[in-house]
Structure 1
Amino acid sequence: MSKPNPVATIAMDSLQDGGADKLGTTMDQQNMDRLGKTQELRRNFKFLSVLGFTAVLMCTWEAILFTASYILPNGGLAGMVWMVSEFSPRSWQRFLSYISGWLCVLGWQVNIASGCYLVALQLQGIIALNDASYVAKPWHGTLMVIANATVCVVFNTFFAKKLPLVEGLMLVIHVFGFFAILIPLWVLSPIQPANEVFGQFTDVYGWPSQGLACLVGIVGPMYSLLGPDSAVHMSEEIRDASRVLPLAMMWTLIINGTTGFIMVVTFAFCIPDQLISGVPNYGFTYIDVFYNSTGSTAAASVMTALITLLCFCSTISAAATSSRQMFAFARDRGLPFSSFLCRVRPGWEIPFNAVCVSFVITCLLSLINLGSAVAFNAIVSLTVGAILSSYIISISCVALRKIRKDRPLPHARWSLGKAGLPMNIIAVLFLLVVYVFTFFPIVNHPTLSYMNWSSPMYAGTVTFAVVYFFVYGRKVYSGPVVLVKEEH
Structure 2
Amino acid sequence: MEYYKHDIFSSGVELHSLDGHETNVFGGTRHDEYDMTRMGKKQELQRNFRFFSIVGFVVILQATWESSLIANSFGLFNGGTAGVIWCTITVWILVMAMIASMSEMASIAPTAGGQYHWVSEFAPPSMQQPLSYLVGWCCCLGWVSAIPACGQMLAGLVQGMVLLRYPNIKITALWQTTLIAILFVLLVFAFNIFAARYLPLAEGIMLIVHVIGFFAFLVVFWTLSEHVSANRVFTEFQDGGGWGSHGLSTLVGIATPLWCFIGPDSGAHMSEELQDASIQLPRAMMWATFFNGIMGIAMLITFCFCISSVDEVLESTTGMAVLEVIYKITHSYAAVCLLGTLLIILSFFGTVTVVAAASRQCWAFARDRGFPHSDWIMRIKWDIPLNALLVCMVLSVLIASINFGSEVALGAIVSVSNAALIFSYIISVGCLRLKRWRGERLPPRRFDLGRWGGPVNDITLVFLIVSFVFSFFPQAPSVGDPDWAANFNWAFPMFLATCVFAFIYYRCGGRESYIAPVRWVKNE
- The bucket for the TM-score relative to the shorter chain is over 0.9
Matched, 1:293 2:329: yes
Structure 1 gaps of 5+ residues are 13-19
Residue in 1 that maps onto 2:411: 377
1:107–1:387 Cα contact (<8 Å) kept: yes
1:399 to 433, 451, 459: 433
The number of equivalent residue pairs is 477
Aligned mates of 2:425, 2:18 — CA distance in 1: 37
Residue in 2 that maps onto 1:428: 461
1:22 to 19, 23, 26: 26
For the aligned residues, what is the CA RMSD?
1.4
SS of corresponding position for 2:379: coil
1:281 CA displacement:
2.5
SS of corresponding position for 2:305: helix
Residue in 1 that maps onto 2:120: 85
Residue in 2 that maps onto 1:16: none
Residue in 2 that maps onto 1:33: 37
Matched, 1:201 2:205: no
Aligned mates of 1:422, 1:249 — CA distance in 2: 20
1:105 to 140, 143, 156: 140
1:350 to 371, 380, 384: 384
Aligned mates of 1:280, 1:268 — CA distance in 2: 16
1:435 CA displacement:
0.6
CA deviation string 1:112-143 (max 9, x = no partner): 11111111111111111222222222222222
Letter in 2 for 1:11: E
Residue in 1 that maps onto 2:520: 483
TM-score (norm 2): 0.89
1:271 CA displacement:
1.1
2:416–2:492 Cα contact (<8 Å) kept: yes
Aligned-pair identity in percent equals 43
CA deviation string 1:363-403 (max 9, x = no partner): 11121111112123310111101100000000111111111
Letter in 2 for 1:421: G
Letter in 1 for 2:224: L
CA deviation string 1:420-466 (max 9, x = no partner): 21111011001111110110110122521111111111110111011
Matched, 1:468 2:505: yes
Aligned mates of 1:130, 1:332 — CA distance in 2: 51
Letter in 2 for 1:59: A
Residues 292/387 of structure 1: CA separation in 2 closer, same or farther (3 Å cut): same
Residue in 2 that maps onto 1:10: 21
2:314–2:321 Cα contact (<8 Å) kept: no
1:244 CA displacement:
1.0
Residue in 2 that maps onto 1:253: 289
* Higher deviation after alignment, 316-325 or 369-378: 369-378
1:227 CA displacement:
1.1
Map of 1:5-404 to 2, 5 A cutoff?
Answer: 9-12=20-23, 20-78=24-82, 79-135=114-170, 136-275=172-311, 278-345=314-381, 348-404=382-438
1:11 CA displacement:
3.1
Aligned mates of 1:291, 1:416 — CA distance in 2: 47
2:22–2:30 Cα contact (<8 Å) kept: no
Aligned mates of 1:287, 1:74 — CA distance in 2: 20
Tell me which stretches of 4 or more aligned residues in structure 1 moved more than 3 Å.
Answer: 3-9, 274-278
1:121–1:283 Cα contact (<8 Å) kept: yes
2:313–2:324 Cα contact (<8 Å) kept: no
Aligned mates of 1:21, 1:166 — CA distance in 2: 23
Residue in 2 that maps onto 1:15: none
Aligned mates of 1:296, 1:302 — CA distance in 2: 10
Structure 2 gaps of 5+ residues are 7-14, 83-113
